[in-house]
Structure 1
Amino acid sequence: MSADDVTVHPDRLLPADPSVRAIARELYGEMSGQGIVSPHGHVDPRLLLDDEPFRDPTSMFLTPDHYVTRLLHARGADLADLGVGRGPLDEGDARAAWRILAENWHAFAGTPVRFWLEDEFSRVFGIDHPLTPGTADAVYDTIATALPTPALRPRALFESFGIQVLATTDDPCDDLSAHAALAADSTLPGRVLPTFRPDRYLEPLRPDFVSLTDALGAAAGEDTGDYDGYIRALEARRRHFVEHGAVSADHSHADVGSTPLALDEARRIYREAREGAVREADATALRRHMLFEMARMSSEDGLVMTLHPGVHRDHHPASRERFGHDIGADIPRPISYVDDLAPLLAAFGTDPRFRIVLFTIDETAFSRELAPLAGFYPSVYVGAPWWFIDAPDAILRFRRAVSETVGYSRTSGFIDDTRAFCSIPARHDMARRLDAHHLACLVAEHRMSIGDAARIARTLPTEQPSHVFRLDGASA
């Protein structure tokens, strides 16, 4: 391979030691041909419903992917110049944004972002030369010329990627008409499922809490002027999601406090929040109470509860005001699970109807808190590394930190958590290679037989997430 050849290597991410690599190749072979189950992500379902060609390389690879835009921003690029918050770019602006990526391509060396993009460039578009300022326009033209072809429309890619299940993330007030249309379309080879995401409706300190709860009531046909109607509205919208195929409810707050309130106290705080007179401590107490209520509802309607807390959202206020949310300005912070989840797990942790997946971006929590919780409570599973730690070294650390306590059956399966549709197969392939790497090392150290490793390898890509998220019909 020449210095300028970026064709993806067949042994990428496998162990360097030739004898261990041979084992990893065998184990990877058990996984590589399986389809993709993606139980949590942020692809817009209308992408598949409309099935319009991707507009240009920038809108396909750059603008929607905050993994890409955040590092470019850190290097001095204006997010507006990358297309963030602007809607469709014209040809000149899209090409200019692409040139910014090319000028900074070297800064992504060694990052999973570069790994994913080179995988996509090579496998989807056959590009085997590096992206540089000198090749930026040629690479752009190669991709842009291919995008209108039938094989690269969203539905064709959905099929060629082998996607069996793709879960989106949806507002509780969404009518889910796009999902209904996709579910009724027998030509789509996989399932596209909504996910109930109620976060902003559970935060009483939000300045728009009244308008949000009013909208929730309107969508549910309930009067949310009081707490009891608010609860009925949330239950009704969850039922609406279940009727449209949802299998999970996703939650992300500052912490996972879950202490329930007395009913009269919850009613009082909700009333004061609606009046704009709620104290911060009371608002926090109500939000924690509502997380408990979400668990109670999950135990009744069967939606798998997923938690990924501990993020300072929109860390830079000026960027939020200018560009909106989800632009890559969210920063991790430490989080506690054992004490904060104690009330919730005391009530529902051994309930066979209840299931919860705990994610973190605080790596220290994997072995200290999450694995021990999943090693006792039948309802608890450890979520795969996501966001800042869905990277090669971190994924290997995750497996080493968790597997000694809970093995592999108490983990979630890989979660790609992506808005960038074309990156889905690259991300899942990365996870499979790293799982093969991890298992091969155990076999080489005589800590696991090759037979056990092969059996585990076969279950991890599709069987495990299908079980955890009840895609296989499992109720416990």
Structure 2
Amino acid sequence: MDNTKRAFMDKDFLLDTEEARILFHKYAEDMPIIDYHCHIDPKDIAEDRNFDSITELWLGGDHYKWRAMRQCGIAEKYITGKEDSRERFRLWCRTLSQAVGSPLYHWSHLELQRYFDCDLPICKKNADRIFDLCNAKLQSGELSAKKIIRMSKVKVVGTTDDPCDDLKWHKTISEDKSLGCRVIPTFRPDKVLLIEDGGFGDYVSALGKAAGVDVNSFEDLKKALSARIDFFAGMGCKSSDQSTVMFPCDRISEAECERIFRNGMANETVAEEERLGFITEVMLFLGKEYRRHGWVMQLHFGVARNTNSRMFEAVGRDTGFDRIHSDAPIESLAAFLDELDKTDSLPKTVLYSLDPSMNTALDVLAKCFNEEGVCGKVQHGAAWWFNDNLGGMKDHLRSLCEQGVLGNFIGMLTDSRCMLSYTRHEYFRRILCAYIGRLCADGELYWDEENLGEIVKNVSFNNAMKFFGME
């Protein structure tokens, strides 16, 4: 190992072998980005949003940072409130200086370096200087939404969109031929599964209106979903994305499903077994529709939502109070995939678990479902949410190498609401190259630069382009 002390987060950050440095600088560093799953608002891109301050850009909507600030005892009004932006930024810098070893520490410094040409350490004493430097650049118009995308070499952005969305901002973006990036919708049907929710009937009515279908039965619901899927496909959609805790797969009859649907529409009580049966039938129908369109089915699971009920009441969902769910759904997930596969209805699928203890189980499960001519039809998706850190990515890569085929992996995503988060792709690529480089340096892997360089390029970009049909 090279024991030479390096400058803080220099060009060889995380690259601790000569092999790693060759792989990153020669094969990964200049590859473009496909960000196939994010939460950026397409309106920001369509209107080429300019941000008023670095506080707005960094702290707006970013529950990763909010969680850290709360752990430092900072008042909520400085986190999700509208207090003075300079003071909020100072408090964020104070927080980050304490969060040593956190991915937030690495991401934030990468963003500062790549977008603001600033290599100052983020800390309390530098807060005002960094604030003024960043704001000057933002106010000059150098870092509008579209300019950030171009300078990041992003070729595809996959946003996250409700089936009821009219996708008007995507249409506006598609008419801009100068962007150099495709911004496509992703079908996110979570709300149609919430039959126990008091707002289920209203949501289904809105879905029907968007689809031009009067939804009075479960069959009507399927027609409405199919119509919206057709619409999304016409707007360039290539995948779905769904968040769920479990994957129930106990089939129920059409008559039972119809009865349960009517009860849900009438806001009547739906028993737990009925709810699970309804979810099973909807998800199986959706899986077949995705297969019909050649879409990728992305499944996120293992999340316990809104753990702090007091804060949920105060600031709402998606604000930093979710956690890892303790129940691993591997058996029901396997049954769900098998049910689709029985009728050749299983689409290409990406599985993301919030529980890192499921890494090996997911990599083994993925190998059970294959298709001739498709490399890695079922993927164990990138280390996600609480796992997209140095240790989590290494563990994910180790499991993938040991149980799967690394060369088929579709690589990183941002899963972010922040326009600057494209540096997470660089972070991942550095970790990927460091992992492979270390295997070579330790004599565990033969140093074939041409072959390993090709794997790095494919995992960084090419595999995802092919998997999602973007080529």
Give TM-score, length-normalised by structure 1.
0.91
Q: Deviations over 1:44-91 (max 9, x none)?
A: 111111113111111101122111111111222233322x2x5xx4xx
Of residues 391-400 and 69-78 in structure 1, the stretch that sits farther from structure 2 once superposed is 69-78
Deviation at 1:413, TM superposition (A): 1.4
Tell me which residue corresponds to 1:118.
109
Where does the alignment leave 5 or more consecutive residues of structure 2 unmatched? 1-5, 371-376
Give 1:46's aligned amino acid: K
Deviation at 1:433, TM superposition (A): 0.6
Deviation at 1:13, TM superposition (A): 1.4
Deviation at 1:262, TM superposition (A): 1.5
Aligned counterparts of 1:394 and 1:67: Cα–Cα separation in 2: 16
User: Retained in 2: the 8 A contact 1:337–1:370?
Assistant: no
**What is the SS of the residue equivalent to 2:50?**
coil
Tell me which residue corresponds to 2:381.
383
Aligned counterparts of 1:219 and 1:299: Cα–Cα separation in 2: 22
Give 2:438's aligned amino acid: C
The answer to whether structure 1 residue 24 and structure 2 residue 24 are counterparts is no
Aligned counterparts of 2:35 and 2:184: Cα–Cα separation in 1: 10
Tell me which residue corresponds to 2:317.
325
Q: Show the 5 A alignment for 1:286-297.
A: 286-297=278-289
Tell me which residue corresponds to 1:308.
300
Q: Deviations over 1:152-201 (max 9, x none)?
A: 11111110110001111011111000001111111111110111111022
Tell me which residue corresponds to 2:236.
245
Aligned counterparts of 2:264 and 2:176: Cα–Cα separation in 1: 43
Q: Deviations over 1:312-346 (max 9, x none)?
A: 11111222222221111110113434421233322
Give 2:11's aligned amino acid: P
Distance 1:6 1:204, change over 3 A: farther
Tell me which residue corresponds to 1:453.
452
User: Retained in 1: the 8 A contact 2:298–2:350?
Assistant: yes
The answer to whether structure 1 residue 39 and structure 2 residue 32 are counterparts is no
Tell me which residue corresponds to 2:205.
214
Aligned counterparts of 2:245 and 2:182: Cα–Cα separation in 1: 32
Tell me which residue corresponds to 1:18.
none
Percent of aligned pairs sharing the same letter: 27
The answer to whether structure 1 residue 462 and structure 2 residue 461 are counterparts is yes
The answer to whether structure 1 residue 73 and structure 2 residue 48 are counterparts is no
Q: Deviations over 1:384-432 (max 9, x none)?
A: 10110011111111111121221124433112111111121x1000110
**What is the SS of the residue equivalent to 2:139?**
coil
Aligned counterparts of 1:222 and 1:464: Cα–Cα separation in 2: 38
Of residues 127-136 and 428-437 in structure 1, the stretch that sits farther from structure 2 once superposed is 127-136
Aligned counterparts of 1:101 and 1:235: Cα–Cα separation in 2: 45
User: Retained in 2: the 8 A contact 1:199–1:251?
Assistant: yes
**What is the SS of the residue equivalent to 1:381?**
strand
Deviation at 1:223, TM superposition (A): 1.5
Tell me which residue corresponds to 1:359.
352
The answer to whether structure 1 residue 345 and structure 2 residue 345 are counterparts is no
Aligned counterparts of 2:37 and 2:313: Cα–Cα separation in 1: 27
Deviation at 1:382, TM superposition (A): 1.1
Where does the alignment leave 5 or more consecutive residues of structure 1 unmatched? 16-20
Aligned counterparts of 2:7 and 2:20: Cα–Cα separation in 1: 22
**What is the SS of the residue equivalent to 1:459?**
helix
Aligned counterparts of 2:8 and 2:330: Cα–Cα separation in 1: 45
Q: Show the 5 A alignment for 1:45-444.
A: 45-82=42-79, 84=80, 89=82, 93-277=84-268, 278-349=270-341, 351=344, 354-367=347-360, 369-378=361-370, 379-424=377-422, 426-444=423-441
Give TM-score, length-normalised by structure 2.
0.92
CA RMSD of aligned residues (A): 1.8
User: Retained in 1: the 8 A contact 2:250–2:276?
Assistant: no
User: Retained in 1: the 8 A contact 2:306–2:322?
Assistant: yes
User: Retained in 2: the 8 A contact 1:359–1:384?
Assistant: yes
User: Retained in 1: the 8 A contact 2:287–2:345?
Assistant: no
Distance 1:147 1:250, change over 3 A: same
Distance 1:305 1:324, change over 3 A: same
User: Retained in 1: the 8 A contact 2:409–2:459?
Assistant: no
